Amino acid sequence: MSAFKAPTGTHDLLPPASARAEACVARFSTLARRDGFGLLNSPVFEDAEVFRRSSGESSEVVSKEMYEFEDKGGRHLALRPEGTASVVRAFVEHKPPVPWKTWYLAPIFRYERPQAGRYRQHHQLGVEVIGTEDPDVDAEVISLGHDYLDALGLSQIALGVNSLGDDVCMPGYREVLVAYLAEHENELCDEHRTRYRLNPLRVLDCKKPDCLRVREGAPRLSQYWCEPCREHFARVTEGLDAAGIVWRQDDFLVRGLDYYTRTTFEFAAESLDAAQNVLIGGGRYDKLSAMLGGPDVGGIGFGSGLERVLLACDAEGALKDVTVAPDVFVVDVTTGRLARDVGRLLRRAGIAAERAYDGRSMKAQLRLADRSGARIAAIFGSDEQRDGTVTLRVLRGDDAGKQETIALDDLEQMVREWSS
Ligand code: HAM
């Protein structure tokens, strides 16, 4: 009896499926490096206050979904429910020169109701730029998100962009919105009927039909932007146009965390169910460093759910050809020493070589070779051992079954030729 299972809402990611996740990480890190970002590893847990102060009590992520615990030393900690607060905490602690550009791959924990594309542990690939409010950075960060999805071969993607304004214009909009919501209080969903005053923007983010109906007639944020916010937004979108990136303004794109100011954006997969289709979400957080006791400097970044990106790849048939199959499978029915030594030489020459163990029969080894996905088998029987040769056999593709016995010295070169 198998007693233990991965906890509800979590998943094991096994090979060969994990090869696609590896490809996402590799493509992301290549682009992040290209754009000047360095890897940041931060702890998986932090003082719970870091998240509470950053994301705000009115965000569900903090108020309902945090995994909080006390350690043996009586410290109140939380498993990271999002990446940005940890990065800003590290920025405030280490005081690196600005602009500070980091990327991360981080497990994230949220006590959510598990469903397709929504898990209690997921992984985010993300970037953050801290120390500048220049709108060209916003466009650069959004472009990186675009290039990442493009590099995966995803094309059914919609980019929404908005600005939440700043200290000057946001309070005015908030007042108008609260007044509007008060008029429609009884039409709101159960939760927001009583909570809308705490943070009225949450109502604009609510996916329940009642709130969506009220939202239709709500005052539009963009009508209340002050001149500097208007100019900031114009320069961001000018940068997107210059990069040839298609975007659309979305007045209701307010995001689910409380630290955002000015630019917010989301890349959504049109191939997925609308409730869980955001592949990349991000925005500016110009007050966050100061909120965590650091200098009053701006920042912007995004997080991208790895599991969701893989679902979108499934839906669009992207990354189909990514496999963990070796280039060659070495079959040895002599003593196993040829598999051992030739396998090692091939690997050191940069060729992915696999082999069987435990002295299996020819039939069993060929079955394993086939299952491995290798295109070629390099076979050693007693004849080959005696003659210093090896028999190459093509296992799949148009020329499957093709076979040739060659000098052992030519193996590396022939494997390369037959693999291409
Ligand atoms: P977020 O929108 O909460 O933003 O999460 C970012 C992305 O993580 C989402 O767009 C989605 O792809 C994925 N995601 C979120 N929750 C789940 C879940 N329960 N299961 C699977 N995937 C999920 C943030 O966390 C911000 N820190 C992003 C950011 C970075 N803003 C500025 N810098």
Per-residue pLDDT of 348-382, as tens digits, reads 999 999 999 999 999 999 999 999 999 999 999 99
With a pLDDT cut of 90, the percent of the chain lying above it is 93
How far apart are the CA of 276 and the centre of ligand 1, in A?
A: 11
Q: Which segments of 230-309 are extended strands (E)?
A: 248-249, 261-269, 278-284, 299-305
3-class DSSP state for residue 101? strand
Report the C-alpha gap between 225 and 288 in whole angstroms.
Answer: 20
From CA 375, how far away is CA 121, in angstroms rounded? 36
* pLDDT tens per residue, range 266-309: 999 999 998 899 999 999 999 999 999 999 999 999 999 999 99
**Close Cβ partners of 364 (under 8 Å, ≥ 6 residues apart):** 356
* Beta carbons of 278 and 267 less than 8 angstroms apart: yes
Angle between helices 411-419 and 337-348 (to 10 degrees): 60
Q: Give the per-residue pLDDT at 319.
A: 96
pLDDT tens track for 93-144: 999 999 999 999 999 999 999 999 999 999 999 999 999 999 999 999 999 9
pLDDT at 54: 94
- Please give the single-letter amino acid code of residue 403: Q
Which pLDDT score, from 0 to 100, does residue 412 have?
Answer: 97
pLDDT of 1 higher than 70 = no
**What per-residue string of b and e applies to 140-165 under the rule 16 or more CB within 10 Å gives b?**
bbbbbbbbbbebbebeebebbbbbbb
pLDDT at 179: 96
How many angstroms separate the alpha carbon of residue 254 from the centre of ligand 1? 13
Pocket test for ligand 1, best of 108, 123, 154, 262 (most atoms within 8 A of CB): 108
Between vectors from CA 29 to CA 256 and to CA 45, what angle results, nearest 5°? 50
Rg of the chain over Cα atoms, rounded to whole angstroms, equals: 27
Distance CA 405, CA 414 (A): 11
Residue 419, pLDDT score:
86
- 396: CA distance to ligand 1 center in Å? 41
CA of 306 to the centre of ligand 1 (A): 10
Kindly report, residue by residue over 185-204, the tens digit of the pLDDT: 999 999 899 889 988 999 99
Nearest CA to ligand 1 atom 8: 305
Distance CA 319, CA 260 (A): 33
> CB–CB of 168/174 below 8 Å?
no
Contact in structure between 69 and 89 (CB atoms under 8 Å): no
Q: What pLDDT, in 10s, does the model give residues 78-100?
A: 999 999 999 999 999 999 999 99
Alpha-carbon distance of 108 to 121, in angstroms, equals: 6
Among candidate residues 38, 316, 305, 327, the one with its CA nearest the CA of residue 150 = 316
pLDDT in tens, 18-60: 999 999 999 999 999 999 999 999 999 999 999 999 988 878 8
193 touches ligand 1 (CB under 6 Å): no
Residue 301 Cβ contacting ligand 1 at under 6 Å = yes
What does pTM read for this prediction? 0.95
Q: Whose CA is nearest to atom 12 of ligand 1?
A: 305
Q: What is the pLDDT of residue 420?
A: 80
Mean of the per-residue pLDDT values of the chain: 96
Query: How would you class 112 by CB atoms within 10 Å of its CB: exposed for 0-12, middle for 13-18, buried for 19 or more?
Result: middle
Q: Helices in 317-410 by DSSP H: which ranges?
A: 337-348, 362-372, 382-387
